[in-house]
Amino acid sequence: MAPSRIVQRGQLHPPNLAIGRARALLLFIGLAVLAACSSHPVTPLALEDIPPLQWQGRSLTTEFALTQAPSPDLLAIDPQMVDFVKRYTGDAVNGRQRLMSLHQAISGAGALDLQYDPFADGSAIETFHRGNANCLSYTHLFVALAREAGLDASYQWQEVRPRWNRNGERVVVGMHVSTLVKLRRGEQFVVDIDPLPTREITDSHKISDREALALHHNNVAMDALANENLEVAWAQGLRALELSPDNASLWANLGAIYRFAGQHAQAEHSYLYALQLDQRTYSAMTNLVILYGLDGREEEQQYWLGRVERYREANPYYHASLGEQAGEEGEWNVALRHYDQALELNPDDSHILFARGLVHQQLGQFGLASDDIKRAIERATLNSDIRSYQQALEEVHKERLAGV
């Protein structure tokens, strides 16, 4: 794992999403069952009208469930944390110094020395005193302490580039949360306990404290579902939905809870509503394929299999993943074809441009390699990426002059 770090951003990428641990999301809605191919919209229900979960002979209503899932104050701090901020930032003369001092105090070996643990959920207070964190709990802590230090700190959702294998099956899809700190003169910094390579981030945007709280409840819900504790999963999933009702992934996740309980009609409605909110909700598509397979609804299953395939073929990162796999196997001409397809779909992605440039370099096509890497430099937004691309461009020029 890379150490916690601060990254300065030239500009932000557009919208996306994040969670403390990369995982699939879930959620549910409604009574009416519509055919998968129907053009009629799925009508959402008010939270109080969501049908109960039928589990182990009990009928768990929304009203009951919400009493079982109170929301913690994730950003509360105690006197010891106030003293911590004063001790390590009190002498700083400007915002940049306060930010750097606070980061060093939290993650450096001499002070709090916070350690990464992918399973360490919790509030800012819990994280501070426990000494370990995942990306979401670290962000709770950093946002809370940064605000105490007078910094403009907020949550940032980062969408992780999906991965596919050679069979076209999506094998990794992640979401990630970090801290966004804005200083005067337009400077922006991203603070992260488990920083992702920039090539893995396809999108990012600021989210509210309320949305971050919904992600906390979702994490608890997904852990409970994994442990087959449906009562907790149901309560936490509903609380997440109450906080962020327009999050399509949460609706897909609640659908998974229904499916596990055997309530397939409600699960179907949840998945369809997730897709109505965001037609790119891949987890809802694939869950519909599974659901219709279980129910023997072959026509509808084939329809959604087709939707999944069309989504995949229209996604530049699908083709980039195949290009990366081919490159790892030394199949450079195959890799080039995949990167060509990826750039037809997204011609301005600096990371894909750079990757194709490296493929041209491997093929001895130094002019084309140079062109791609120059375009990647023009489109890059992080200084670290620009420096890396410039170094690679120098290597291409050296090989070209050497006649390699």
Among 7, 10, 5, 3, which Cα is nearest to 377's? Answer: 10
- In this prediction, residue 6 carries a pLDDT of 65
- In this prediction, residue 180 carries a pLDDT of 95
Pairing type for strands 163-164 and 115-116 reads unpaired
Structure tokens at 155: 């949550």
- In this prediction, residue 47 carries a pLDDT of 82
Residue 359: CATH number of its domain = 1.25.40.10
Stretches where the chain sits below pLDDT 70 are 1-45, 110, 165-174, 404
- In this prediction, residue 48 carries a pLDDT of 79
Domain boundary among 223, 258, 279: 279
Question: Are 10 and 95 within one domain?
Answer: yes
How many domains does the structure of the chain reveal?
A: 2
Q: Is 198 exposed, middle or buried (0-12, 13-18, 19+ CB in 10 A)?
A: middle
* Gap between the Cα atoms of 251 and 244, Å rounded: 10
SS3 content of the chain, % helix, strand, coil (to 5): 55, 10, 35
Whether 278 and 247 have beta carbons less than 8 Å apart is answered as no
Q: pLDDT tens digits for 81-124?
A: 999 999 999 988 899 999 999 999 998 876 888 999 988 989 99
* Gap between the Cα atoms of 54 and 268, Å rounded: 16
Question: Are 97 and 3 within one domain?
Answer: yes
What domain range is 91 assigned to? Answer: 1-279
Whether 310 and 162 have beta carbons less than 8 Å apart is answered as no
* Gap between the Cα atoms of 42 and 32, Å rounded: 8
How much is the pTM? 0.81
Question: Are 258 and 323 within one domain?
Answer: no
* Gap between the Cα atoms of 71 and 16, Å rounded: 24
Q: Is 364 left (phi over 0), alpha (psi -120 to 50) or beta?
A: left
- In this prediction, residue 137 carries a pLDDT of 94
Q: Is residue 307 part of a domain?
A: no
Q: Is residue 184 part of a domain?
A: yes
Whether 304 and 285 have beta carbons less than 8 Å apart is answered as yes
- In this prediction, residue 267 carries a pLDDT of 96
Q: Is 274 exposed, middle or buried (0-12, 13-18, 19+ CB in 10 A)?
A: buried
- In this prediction, residue 176 carries a pLDDT of 87
